[in-house]
Amino acid sequence: MKTKVNASTLIEVIIAMVTIVIVFGIAMMIYSNVIRSSVSVKKIRAQAILRDIMERASNSATALQNDSFTLDGLVINQTVKPYRDDKNLNEVDLNAYDSNQQLQATLKQVKIMQDE
């Protein structure tokens, strides 16, 4: 009953473990960079809301004023100012902030004032 069992030495096991840990660490860094650099769903939704608000403002002359309001959990700041000192043109800036006051989306357009 003298059979020899083939096994790994302690050094081989440690080298294999260190290799696995290094590969796992590199994979986690790549994964976190991909997640951090992607456009979040919040930002896409905020951009869609700002485009909708800008379209509504284009259709109504009374909507072009400085205002701040909450819509779908976002705080929307609307700023209207003359564009390059031209009384017939206004620059409309829309900014969407989340509940943590982080900027999610920005939209700027120049609008022609409608005479009524």
- pLDDT 10s digits, 34-87: 887 777 788 888 999 999 988 887 777 555 778 888 988 899 999 888 888 887
| 27 domain-assigned | yes
Residues in contact with 112: Cβ distance below 8 Å, sequence separation at least 6, in sequence order: 88, 89
Give yes or no: residues 86 and 33 share one domain: no
Same domain, 61 and 99: yes
Shared domain for 78 and 29, answered yes or no, is: no
Q: Do residues 20 and 32 both lie within one domain?
A: yes
Mark whether 82 and 51 lie in a shared domain.
yes
Q: pLDDT class for 116, splitting at 50, 70, 90?
A: very low
Residue 37 tokens read as 């650099």
Q: How many domains, in total, are found in the chain?
A: 2
**Is 55 in the same domain as 106?**
yes
Contact (Cβ atoms closer than 8 angstroms) between residue 100 and residue 107: no
Q: What is the mean pLDDT of residues 1-20?
A: 88
Range of the domain at 52: 41-112
Local structure of residue 62 (DSSP, 8 states) = G
Helix (H) or strand (E) run with residue 23 in it: helix 10-37
1: Cα separation from own chain's centroid: 69
**Domain contains 2:** no
Q: What is the CATH number of the domain that holds 64?
A: 2.20.25
